[in-house]
Amino acid sequence: MRTVPLMMGCWRKWAAAPALALLLVSNVPGGTAAAASLTALESQLHSVHVNLVADKAQQAKLQAEVNQSQVLLGQVDQQLTITQQNIAATRAAILVTENRIGTVSRRLARTRAASEMQQGGLDAVLLYTQQYGPIGYLAVLLHVASFGEFVTRLGNVIEVATFERSIVENLNHDADLIHHDLVLQDQAKAKYARQQATLVRQRDQQAQVASQRRQVLATLQSQQQQINSVVADEQQQGQKLWDAIQQLKAELADGQLSSSQIFSIVKSISAIYGINPLLIMAVIREESGGNTHAVSSAGAQGLMQLMPSTAAELGVTDAFNAEQNVHGGIAYLSYLLKLFNNNIPFALAAYNAGPNAVKQYGGIPPYPETQNYVKNIMYMYQHGI
């Protein structure tokens, strides 16, 4: 017994020569259903291919958007770095200004102390003048002996007081400028802080968008891998079907009758026994591959591989005669179906291994050959191949 592998699905060869594929399948009984299945599969694989192309285009678009987001993130980081540098420079300038304020404050304190001392001195001069008159003031306080010396000494005092006053005015002016600088620096610091906060928000938003796009891109890549796996499986199944059909065509060509001629014989005889002709055709394909002259190593002969003793019991005088062989094989299968209450798998197992083996095991015997035999025939029968 030979097993013909049968799988559904094809893409490359059917797509390259759809007319030849459909013609080949149509020559096999039940081939119309197979041709329809192949056409539907071709349409399905074409749709998968179109979706795959669209997914790849979407993936490329998302990748470009991710790259653009990364460029924007780089620009935002650069602006943020510049802002941070400006803030650092502002802080350094503030530190310098604070040092200047400290210096000016110390100078103001010394000037105020000197002014207070001078004011105290002038008060003392006024007191001495009131108590002792001009001469007493000159003699006691200034230690001068004449009015001319007094005028000279007083001019010196006035000059020192004028100089100290100009220093105080300059210091006050410097203090006003420093205060103005401090106000401007505070405004600049607040501006830079707002810019930094804005840049941080923009960077966070860009990072979130980039993360979402990467997730979508990963999802598309996963879907693409799944589609590629499905397409690969379909192509593999299509290759198996193509090889099986080629093998079946070669096997049918080895016999004297075409598949349509064999089906015509099977259809007329199976109607007598009330058996589906597609089931008989599946048995013939599994038994002999459609070769009317097939002989197994065990001595089984013809289309339905009848043993000589079984053929004699069924009244078959020429096992290589297609009509006699099919008639005998259908009669024997009809007997087995009745024996096992129309249980097709049990009857097929009995056709292969003998009814006693089926009775012994209460079903399909645990023989790998018999189990594959039943499985192959049921697959072909249920799929109309």
* Distance of alpha carbon 143 from alpha carbon 149, whole angstroms: 9
Q: Is the dihedral of CA 80, 81, 82, 85 positive or negative?
A: positive
Is 287 a residue of the active site?
A: yes
Residue with tokens 């990963």: 218
Written in H, E and C, the secondary structure of 116-138 is HHHHHHHHHHHHHHHHHHHHHHH
Nearest CA to 357 among 339, 334, 381? 339
Q: Which of 287, 313, 323, 369 is catalytic?
A: 287
Phi-psi region of 75 (alpha: psi -120 to 50; beta: other; left: phi over 0): alpha
* Distance of alpha carbon 31 from alpha carbon 38, whole angstroms: 10
Confirm if 1 and 373 have CB atoms less than 8 A apart: yes
Give the number of residues written for the chain: 385
Paired tokens of 357: 């083996």
Confirm if 227 and 48 have CB atoms less than 8 A apart: yes
* Distance of alpha carbon 125 from alpha carbon 156, whole angstroms: 15
* Distance of alpha carbon 376 from alpha carbon 370, whole angstroms: 10
Q: Is the dihedral of CA 62, 63, 66, 71 positive or negative?
A: negative
Strands (E), 190-297: none
- Active site residue ranges: 287
